[in-house]
Every structure is written in structure tokens, then in C-alpha cells.
């Protein structure tokens, strides 16, 4: 399971018990009719059933989806804004003894920029810098606790590290998921995706789309620095001072210095644990 604490504020209004029930049901391949309504976004999973634009999608049989889930070697769910405290509830269940969790974080200033963008474009609920920083701080503390109680079941990943070294981090992730420290290659499907997303000239450069998965991460990983407002920047630096330090991000002395792209926004190139 990928716990993403870095993209946007979707899911903030859903109570944690509801999130727990939803994720548990999906991990057990309990696909609901409501879930099936989103299948227009599934072209990455079911390319032969590709839907584009406003075209009517062909019917997708829920039985096929459930069968694919039940027969899969791995079941992976990406969640947004789930508290790590809820993860402990999963770890305690005997039926989830094989569950592994990837905790993904991003520079809080980049997160705030994305949240502000989505709030304006999608007209959805937003959070303050103080609330965001408190949430990241609490999850970081909980990660440390869970990592001690459940060794080898959690993996800490910074968005920036994955962006700058996608193939290296992908191999680390594969070793973590596959429980094999000797694996020397990632699956072919992963190679194809990374090669296409990092080198293809046909990829749309619309990096600011909140759900884009094929922007060149090595190029856009700190694009937020060109777009964040001075107010948001100052608020995040005020409330996230300790978070920035613990996660290996540079605290800039001023808004002007932050705009200087020759100065890196990370203090450690490869952060593998908390604190970095």
C-alpha cells in the first residue's frame, strides 16, 4: 500500500474508520458498483479497454475486475491522506500479515503549491499550512514508531529522490515489495513505464496537471519554486520548520533566495529514513 502524504487534499473529509473499511474491502477484492463508475481512468490498467475524451466507454464487467484482483501476484493500492495510525489497524489483522506500506512524502512547500492549485481549479476543500504541517509531523512520528514495531514492513520514500533517481529507487522498491535484497532488475513493465516517462519525446509536458503520471520528473521535481506564492511560502516555512529539517529539505532564508534555482531545495540527496 502506498500512503501518499504529498499530492493534494483529496480525502481529507473522509473519516478514518471509513477509509479503513474502504481499503480493507478493496484489498480483499471487494469491488463495488460505485467504484466501477470511475473506470474511464483505467486505461493504464486495462489498455485494451481505453476510453478517451467524452467517448462512451465499453462495458467493463465487474466479474473480470474481481478475477484479475484475485489472481494478481500483488495487490497495490495508492491512498491519499490516510493517517499512519490507521495502518497499525491493518498490521494487527492476521489476514494482512503480508501487507507492506510505502510512505511517500514531498517538500511541504511543493505540497502547498499543489493544494492551492487544485483548490482553485477544482473548487474543493483546502487546508492551511499549519494543518498540513501538523499532519506530516504526526505521520513522520508514527512512521518511526511503526517501523520499530513492525520491521521490514514499511518503506520511506521522498518524491524528490524518486524523481531524481527513478530507476535506482524503483529497484529499491522492488526489493522491498518482493522481499529480495538480491534482486538486480525491476520488472519489464516498470522498465517500460520509466523509459517512456523519462525519455519519450511524445510525452505531454503538462507537468502542472494534478493527476499527470508521465511528466519528466527529473526536470520538474522542484517546479513549485517558480510558482508558489510568497504568502504560501512564508506560511509553510513558519509552521514546517522542524518538518523541513527532519525530512531533509532546505529552509530558505528568503523568498528571493528560494527562487534561485541554482540552490538545491534538499539538504541530503538520498533520504532513507526519518530523520534524514
> Are 144 and 10 spatial neighbours (Cβ–Cβ below 8 Å)?
no
Whether the per-residue pLDDT at 217 is higher than 50: the answer is: yes
64-117 pLDDT, tens digit each: 888 888 998 899 988 877 889 999 999 999 999 999 999 999 999 999 998 887
152-188 pLDDT, tens digit each: 999 999 999 999 999 999 999 999 998 888 889 999 9
User: What is residue 58's predicted lDDT score, i.e. its pLDDT?
Assistant: 60
Whether the per-residue pLDDT at 124 is higher than 80: the answer is: no
Question: What 8-state DSSP symbol labels residue 251?
Answer: P
Whether the per-residue pLDDT at 199 is higher than 90: the answer is: no
Torsions phi, psi for 266 (to 5 deg): -115, 145
How many Å separate Cα 204 from the centre of its chain? 20
Would you call 79 helix, strand, or coil by DSSP?
Answer: strand
Task: State the residue for C-alpha cell 493534494.
Answer: 8
Q: Which domains does the chain have, with CATH numbers?
A: 2-8+79-258 (3.40.50)
Amino acid at each position: 500500500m502506498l500512503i501518499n502524504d504529498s499530492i493534494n487534499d483529496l480525502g481529507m473529509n473522509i473519516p478514518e474508520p471509513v477509509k479503513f473499511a474502504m481499503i480493507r474491502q478493496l484489498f480483499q477484492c471487494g469491488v463495488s458498483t460505485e467504484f466501477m463508475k470511475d473506470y474511464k481512468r483505467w486505461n493504464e490498467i486495462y489498455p485494451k479497454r481505453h476510453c478517451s475524451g467524452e467517448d462512451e466507454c465499453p462495458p467493463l464487467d465487474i466479474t473480470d475486475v474481481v478475477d484479475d484482483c484475485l489472481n494478481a501476484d500483488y495487490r497495490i493500492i495508492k491512498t491519499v491522506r490516510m493517517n499512519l495510525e490507521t495502518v497499525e489497524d491493518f498490521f494487527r489483522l492476521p489476514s494482512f500479515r503480508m501487507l507492506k506500506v510505502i510512505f511517500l512524502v514531498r517538500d511541504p512547500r511543493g505540497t502547498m503549491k499543489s493544494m492551492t492549485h487544485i483548490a482553485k481549479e477544482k473548487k474543493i476543500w483546502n487546508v492551511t499550512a499549519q494543518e498540513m504541517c501538523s499532519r506530516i509531523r504526526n505521520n513522520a512520528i508514527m512512521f518511526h514508531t511503526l517501523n520499530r514495531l513492525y520491521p521490514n514492513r514499511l518503506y520511506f520514500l521522498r518524491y524528490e529522490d524518486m524523481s531524481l533517481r527513478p530507476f535506482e529507487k524503483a529497484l529499491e522498491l522492488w526489493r522491498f515489495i518482493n522481499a529480495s535484497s538480491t534482486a538486480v532488475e525491476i520488472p519489464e513493465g516498470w522498465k517500460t513505464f520509466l523509459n517512456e516517462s523519462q525519455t519519450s519525446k511524445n510525452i505531454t509536458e503538462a507537468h502542472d496537471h494534478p493527476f499527470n503520471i508521465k511528466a519528466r520528473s527529473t526536470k520538474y521535481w522542484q517546479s513549485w519554486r517558480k510558482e508558489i506564492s510568497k504568502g504560501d511560502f512564508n506560511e509553510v516555512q513558519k509552521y514546517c520548520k522542524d518538518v523541513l529539517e527532519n525530512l531533509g529539505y532546505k529552509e530558505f532564508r528568503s523568498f528571493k533566495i528560494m527562487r534561485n534555482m541554482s540552490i538545491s531545495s534538499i539538504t541530503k540527496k538520498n533520504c532513507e529514513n526519518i530523520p534524514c
